[in-house]
Homo-oligomer: A and B are copies of this chain.
Amino acid sequence: MLRIALAQINTTVGDFNHNIKKITEYIMQARKMSVDVVVFPEMAVTGYPPEDLLYKKHFIQDNLAALHSIAGQTKNIAAVIGFVDADSKGNLFNAAAVFYNGKVSGIYHKAELPNYGVFDEKRYFVPGTNNSVFLLGKIKFGISICEDIWTKNGPCYAQARSGAKVLINISSSPYHAGKGKEREKMLKEQAVFNKAFVCYANLVGGQDELVFDGGSCIVDPKGKFLAAGKQFEEDLVVADLEVPAAVKVSKNAKVKNIVIDKIYSRPSRLPIKGRITKKMGRIEEIYQALVLGTRDYVQKNGFKKVVIGLSGGIDSSLVAAVACDALGNKNVIGVTMPSKFTSRETRKDAHILADRLGMRVLEIPIGPIHTVYLQALHNEFKNTKPDTTEENIQARIRGNILMAFSNKFGWLVLTTGNKSEVAVGYCTLYGDMAGGFCVLKDVPKTVVYELSDFLNAREGRQVIPQSVIDRAPSAELRENQKDEDSLPPYKVLDPVLKEYVELDYSLSALNKKWSHPFLLKITEMIDKNEYKRRQAPPGIKLTPKAFGRDRRFPITNRYKER
């Protein structure tokens, strides 16, 4: 029997002291439970992804020093820890070290390096060629890292063929809605295919645009869960595995045998039954990803409080609710900035929302400022008609006011745009786009509604007033403005955006499927607003393809389909 613990910790990029402290705490916790092997996520020492910090030699050295500082904690317990390894030529490897009794028994280098989507691993790492299996007493296990286990005939297969009955995978696998199911399916298939236990330790926490969802789990060789950890929280996932003793197998020249402890004998102990945490539903998952992503961005960047422009609309209402969940309502300040185009209803709703969330709200009317701008520009604009220029000035006045609060009091500005708006550029650069973090950047408008309904249902009350949910969306930058004056209804728009942005459908394929008159206009809006997105604040990735590092588009782009 092998008692294994998956330590699903929340690391911080570059904070070696913090990460090592976490690792030490979880080793101690595992030791108290008489665990044989405790496993930490991919690059637990450095945090993930450290990006170009990896180009700094001293960063690599500090990571190695931090890693080895753990050695003393591993008496009678094996610890598998993700870090960055380097060879004498300066090549870097995404690596896992196995510590036991104060020494490194062996090291594994990730073989499959993802270099798509948000991943740039071939920018930094050399693929590993040191596949190994580890022997602890009579139990043989293999270690792989994230992407390695997503290929069927990859390192895990070679380990199983070399007699490994336990396949440990350490991951820092970024969340997107629906990925959990894919991952589960893949892990079960790997367990069955390789006739081995699969132990999957995933990172949890937010890092810039990424959220890691945890959900570490253990699958038995029949493809059944023995244990499954929490989502979006730290956790220690423990289970007892009835592993058959290792038998001699035909040697595979490509897989090394590493003996951790030949005569390892397990302490006598009461059995532990793995806990299987129930998976969240789709919308709850997205909501929790927003909460964790927001909390970690704010706090890991040294902020305590955030400020949000409350318009009385659904986007800012949802952002305020998420922020209160993430940081506590005492740390969230709303600012309403009414103009003559702000309706009495939206103004009232902003205050009702703040009241229901128990958050502070300030009011700064922007009318007088807008008037002085128009006076200042009057001469130069005198032969022109009012257009979006005058609208954008208002949005930018609001941006300036929020940033003034940020500068004066050290509050981080959360912006309130959603993915539908960011996609078509229905937002003002330096106006409503001004701020440190765009919570809903990867949430289509239709999902904004689903999340609001979810929140109200969870709370059993109208946290977000029904009038906010029911009112036709409007930017309120001119008289009687409605989003649908410039855009198709979001229920029509959102599926098109998904197909064009995330799935790379061609315009002709879209025309064939939808035959809407606006398709050309919409796709052109998406393309030409890349310049706005390039200057947008970061936001949480929630879909298979988010704006930001995930979708790398040229601004200068004259491509028109033939």
- A interface residues with partner B (beta carbon < 8 Å): 12-16, 18, 49-53, 55-59, 62, 65, 115-116, 120, 122-123, 206-208, 296-297, 300-301, 362, 364-366, 368-369, 372-373, 375-377, 380-381, 384, 387-389, 392-393, 396-397, 399-401, 403-405, 407-408, 429-430, 434, 436, 504, 506, 508, 531, 534-538, 549, 551-562
Q: How far is the CB of A237 from chain B (nearest CB, A)?
A: 26
Cβ contact within 8 Å between B369 and A381: no
Separation in Å of the A404 CB from the closest CB of chain B? 5
Contact A364 to B377, CB < 8 A, known contacts A429-B403, A436-B531, A559-B13: yes
Q: Point out the residues of chain B lying under 8 angstroms from A556, CB to CB.
A: 12-13, 206-208, 296-297, 300-301
CB proximity of A60 to chain B, nearest CB, Å: 11
> Closest CB of chain B to A68's CB: distance in Å?
13
Closest CB in chain B relative to A275 CB, distance in Å: 31
Known A53-B553, A557-B14: A376·B380 in contact at CB below 8 Å: no
| Closest CB in chain B relative to A417 CB, distance in Å | 13
Most buried by B among A52, A57, A116, A560: A52
Q: Say yes or no: B396 contacts A403, CB within 8 Å.
A: yes
Given contacts A14-B557, A400-B396, A403-B396, contact A562 B301 (CB under 8 A): no
Please tell me if the beta carbons of B375 and A404 are within 8 angstroms of each other in the complex. Answer: no
Once the chains are docked, how many angstroms separate the CA of A538 from the CA of B554? 11
* Chain B neighbourhood of A55, CB < 8 A: 504
List 23 A–B pairs whose Cβ atoms lie within 8 Å, in order of A's numbering: A12-B558, A49-B554, A50-B559, A51-B553, A51-B554, A56-B506, A57-B506, A58-B508, A62-B562, A120-B120, A122-B122, A123-B552, A206-B556, A207-B556, A364-B376, A364-B380, A376-B401, A393-B400, A396-B400, A396-B403, A400-B400, A430-B430, A538-B555
**Known contacts A552-B120, A556-B208, A58 near B404 by CB under 8 Å:** no
Closest residue of chain B to A50 (Cβ to Cβ) is: B554
Contacts of A396 in B (CB 8 A): 396, 399-400, 403, 430
Excluding A115-B123, A364-B377, A400-B430, 16 further A-B contacts by CB distance (< 8 Å) are: A12-B556, A49-B554, A50-B559, A51-B552, A53-B557, A56-B504, A58-B561, A65-B562, A122-B122, A208-B554, A208-B556, A368-B375, A369-B373, A373-B404, A392-B404, A392-B407
Q: How many copies does the complex hold?
A: 2
What's the minimum C-beta distance from A115 to chain B, rounded to whole angstroms?
5
Report the minimum CB–CB distance from A388 to chain B (whole Å).
6
Q: Which 6 A-B pairs have the closest CB atoms?
A: A14-B559, A15-B558, A389-B407, A58-B506, A430-B430, A396-B400
- Find the B residue at minimum CB distance from A117: B123
Distance (whole angstroms) from the CB of A413 to the closest CB of chain B: 10
Residues of chain B with a CB closer than 8 A to A404's CB: 373, 377, 389, 392-393
User: Do A555 and B301 touch across chains, with their CB atoms under 8 A apart?
Assistant: yes
Given contact pairs A123-B115, A301-B555, A553-B51, A57 touches B400 in the complex (Cβ within 8 A): no
**In the complex, what residue of chain B is closest to A206 when comparing beta carbons?**
B556
**Bound state CA distance, A269 and B384, in angstroms?**
62
Chain B residue at minimum C-beta to C-beta distance from A549: B552
A415-B48 Cα distance, complex, nearest whole Å: 34
A115 cross-chain contacts in B, Cβ below 8 A: 115, 120, 122-123
Q: How far is the CA of A31 from the CA of B251 in the complex (A)?
A: 64
A558 touching B18, Cβ below 8 Å = yes
Q: Closest approach, in angstroms, between the C-beta of A310 and any C-beta of chain B?
A: 15
From known contacts A13-B559, A531-B436, A534-B538, infer whether A552 and B52 are also in contact, taking CB-CB under 8 Å.
Answer: yes
Shortest beta-carbon distance, A126 to chain B, in Å? 12
A120 to chain B: which residues have CB within 8 Å? Answer: 115, 120, 123, 552
**In the complex, residue of chain B having the shortest beta-carbon distance to the beta carbon of A66:** B562
CA distance A56 to B510 in the complex (A): 13
With most chain B CB atoms within 10 A of its CB, the pick from A15, A372, A399, A549 is: A372
A488 to chain B: closest CB distance in Å? Answer: 22
Contacts of A65 in B (CB 8 A): 562
Partner of A408, one of B384, B397, B399: B384
In the complex, what residues of B have CB within 8 A of residue A207's CB? 554, 556
> Contact at B388–A407, with CB atoms within 8 Å?
yes
A376 cross-chain contacts in B, Cβ below 8 A: 364-366, 368-369, 401
Q: Determine the distance from Cα of A393 to Cα of B264 in the docked complex, in whole angstroms.
A: 67
A15 closest partner in B (C-beta): B558
- A404 vs B391: C-alpha distance when bound (angstroms): 10
From B116, B384, B392, contact of A123 by CB (8 A): B116
B residues in contact with A372, CB < 8 Å: 368-369, 372
What's the Cα separation between A281 and B389 when bound, in Å? 44
Shortest distance between the CB of A522 and any CB in chain B (Å): 16
CB distance from A194 to the nearest CB of B (A): 26
Cα–Cα distance between A275 and B377 once the two chains are bound (Å): 54
